[in-house]
Amino acid sequence: MAFREVAMVEVKEILRLWLMGMWKKRIAQQLGFDVKTVRRYLRIAKAHGLEQAHGLAALNDDLVAAVAAAAQPGKGRSRGEGWAVCESHHEFIEQRLDQGVRLTKVHKLLLRQGVEIGYPTLHRFAVAQLDFGRAPPTVPVADCAPGAEVQLDTGWMTLLEPDLFGKRRRFRAWIFTPVFSRYRFVYPVFRETTETAIEACEAAWEFYGGVFRVLVIDYVSWHVIGILWPPALRAHRHQEPGDCLQRPFAMAT
């Protein structure tokens, strides 16, 4: 088969179908390529770190351009004239984005100045050169040690099966969530009372095989947990709903 230059959109389609789990032969048949061509582009993509397990989220224009450039060396630069125009207006684009101007508005401002740039090219340039649209780096949060802290919440659950009279009763539940493992324990009850709170705590400690040093209570009625708190902490009962108070677990039992 004679050599056929593969366009950028076709390279992207090869990678997209492969990331979706399609076989190489099927990709070749659907796009009208030789299977060797498909294998060559996928081999280059894998060399750039692409794996099928990554899914479609790993597919971006920079990767497609890198694969196309590596597969077709000697075809000149991988960027078009539009990219060169973006580079010549790099400072203008960067300043407007830093000022909070939307990229679509930046595109319109450039057009008003007589600068002809396709929006897709401008978007790729902003993403590649100015980190446009990229989420800030994740800040790691140090979790507590195992057994150090558990969160206690309560809320309405689903409906039970109809009784003999056809009525369906809704029930509540005490919900325990350890901060370290997130291994949740749910204790269903019909009423949110001090008695059921104590029963739920005892069941949870048996379930986890021990007690937690700190119990964080949230969204629980004060008339239910007030008796579990020492007088010094009851002065905080006027806090806003959703606020949490921490206390040693042993005091809660």
pLDDT tens-digit profile, the chain (253 residues): 334 455 677 888 888 899 888 888 888 888 778 888 889 889 888 888 888 888 888 888 888 888 887 776 544 445 667 888 888 899 999 999 989 899 999 999 999 999 888 888 888 888 888 878 766 555 555 667 888 888 888 888 777 788 788 888 888 889 898 988 888 899 999 888 888 888 888 999 999 988 888 888 876 665 566 555 544 444 444 444 333 334 333 333 3
Strand partners, 214: 149, 248
d(CA 194, CA 82): 70
- The SS3 call for residue 176 is strand
Task: Give the single-character DSSP code of 236.
Answer: T
The full length of the chain comes to 253
Residue 2's nearest CA partner among 37, 30, 52 is 37
> CB–CB of 48/54 below 8 Å?
no
Domain limits, the chain: 8-71, 81-130, 149-159+168-252
8 A C-beta contact, residue 247 and residue 233: yes
